[in-house]
Amino acid sequence: MNTRYDVAIIGCGEAGIFAGYELMRRHPALKVVTLDQGADIYTRSCPIVAGKVKECIHCKICDTMCGFGGAGAFSDGKYNFTTAFGGWLTDFMDGKEVMDLIDYVDTINVQHGATTEVFSTTTPEARALEKRALEHDLHLLQARCKHLGTENNLKILQSIYETVKEHVEYRFHTAVTTIENRGEEGYRLITDKGDEVDCTWLIAAPGRSGAEWFANQCKGLGIELINNQVDIGVRVELPAKVFEHITDVVYESKLVYRTKQYGDQVRTFCMNPYGHVVAENVEGINTVNGHSYSDPKLRSENTNFALLVSNRFTQPFNEPYRYGKHIASLSNMLAGGVLVQRFGDLVAGIRTNEHRLSKSFVRPTLTAAVPGDLSLALPKRQLDDIIEMIYQLDKIAPGTANYDTLLYGAEVKFYSSRLALSGELETALPRFFAIGDGAGVTRGLAQAGASGVKVARVIAERLGK
């Protein structure tokens, strides 16, 4: 089957959704299609969450990462109003424009049921916290933040889907396998069903799950790829009380520290007060993540957050993605999935086993994690960095370095190879745009959504002319 559209969008995660939404608003007459390898927002269901299996069975298409809402659909939806983290859009446009786009995406979310409650950073308590952290060389990056909540996040996405589907054709369970450059005619997408989709304008928003595939397509199309980073670390889980004085004041606290031993940058990331640690499947590799519910009834007694060491490579190695996957696969090899170790055991150089874990005061919320030894999976440098950071955090949140603090591994944040893009997020090929996490320009909901709105406006404006 061959069909022709004005605009084709690959992927309906946050970036692809907001590109479609804004095209609908700015240019409703356009014929737009979105193709996604995953399912619609009503039928996405991970077999672990559905209680059908205990551990990841490596579904061909991961329902947690793919489908309407993308990787963010089952996240607890921390929406950060900042350009300081969550992406690199300020490399392409000025900070004010990025903030305007982030605010705009928020107004759309609010129209579809998102909370209006914002955690502010300008309170005296937040400033005092920043000062206290600084006294210990910990740098608190603060941002206004909204907590959409895992359950509300789904409702918001459903409402957006119901609105946009009247204008944008969605083809689910449809993976794009090949992108062809057809010159003046535009682009042809070949799908795994053998269909051909022709379009004048192409927006690629394949997210992290499609990043490797997309990078290969770009190489074939002669589009330059710029090296990017990979962040490797662990997820820390401890009693919520240890971090309460911080999480009550700044919901999403990001603390950055440069280690004395190596001069590496370590940061806290994705803080989930009263949350749950979860396993996540990235292209067949089990990594770890976390989330939290806004409904108090669904809360745990623990807080979890990631501790990540940023790694950037220079010549001759240029495949950070492969490096990160390799490290995550080591802990998978040892544990058959996610590995968990008590901090005290790690420092003492002993493996955490079932017996030792059963004595822990901190009860793991990811019960499928297998007790083991992280030092056999993570490189020494990253592990030393993490241990140093935990002792540093202990100075502002005493209890962080307790023996029973749990460390899950490996947590790996892959950032797709970044494409060489114009200030309008257009590739070197005309009318071919790349947005969101898969293009290596964002790593969070707010900037991913903002990048989608940006390219939709560029297209609408050019068509207007």
Ligand X SMILES: Cc1cc2nc3c(=O)[nH]c(=O)nc-3n(C[C@H](O)[C@H](O)[C@H](O)COP(=O)(O)OP(=O)(O)OC[C@H]3O[C@@H](n4cnc5c(N)ncnc54)[C@H](O)[C@@H]3O)c2cc1C
**Contact set with ligand X (CB under 6 A):** 10-16, 35-38, 66-67, 70-72, 75-78, 80, 86, 175-176, 205-210, 213, 280, 289, 291, 436-438, 443-446, 448
Contacts of 104 (CB under 8 A, 6+ apart): 450, 453
Question: Are 186 and 4 spatial neighbours (Cβ–Cβ below 8 Å)?
Answer: no
Question: Are 272 and 291 spatial neighbours (Cβ–Cβ below 8 Å)?
Answer: yes
Comparing CB distances to ligand X, the nearer of 76 and 237 is: 76
* Closest distance to ligand X from the beta carbon of 462 (Å): 22
Comparing CB distances to ligand X, the nearer of 342 and 418 is: 418
* Closest distance to ligand X from the beta carbon of 380 (Å): 28
Comparing CB distances to ligand X, the nearer of 177 and 353 is: 177
* Closest distance to ligand X from the beta carbon of 256 (Å): 17
Starting at the edge strand found earlier in the chain, the sheet holding 139-141 runs 139-141, 254-258, 265-272, 302-311, 230-239, 406-414, 339-342, 370-371
C-alpha to C-alpha distance for 23 and 31, rounded to whole angstroms? 10
* DSSP character string of 277-309: EEEEEETTEEEEEEE--SSGGG--SEEEEEEEE
Comparing CB distances to ligand X, the nearer of 289 and 427 is: 289
Comparing CB distances to ligand X, the nearer of 280 and 373 is: 280
* Closest distance to ligand X from the beta carbon of 446 (Å): 6
- CB neighbours (10 Å) of residue 107? 10
C-alpha to C-alpha distance for 389 and 268, rounded to whole angstroms? 9
Q: Is the dihedral of CA 394, 309, 299, 444 positive or negative?
A: positive
Comparing CB distances to ligand X, the nearer of 385 and 411 is: 411
Give me the residue label for tokens 């950055």.
256
Comparing CB distances to ligand X, the nearer of 154 and 446 is: 446
Q: What is the largest CA-CA distance in the chain?
A: 70
* Closest distance to ligand X from the beta carbon of 192 (Å): 8
Q: Nearest CA to 276 among 288, 287, 292?
A: 292
* Closest distance to ligand X from the beta carbon of 15 (Å): 3
Question: Are 407 and 442 spatial neighbours (Cβ–Cβ below 8 Å)?
Answer: no
Comparing CB distances to ligand X, the nearer of 383 and 435 is: 435
C-alpha to C-alpha distance for 201 and 71, rounded to whole angstroms? 24
* Closest distance to ligand X from the beta carbon of 448 (Å): 4
Could you give phi then psi for residue 174, rounded to 5 degrees? -130, 105
Alpha-carbon torsion angle 109, 94, 251, 442, nearest 10: 70
Comparing CB distances to ligand X, the nearer of 273 and 444 is: 444
* Closest distance to ligand X from the beta carbon of 438 (Å): 5
* Closest distance to ligand X from the beta carbon of 50 (Å): 17
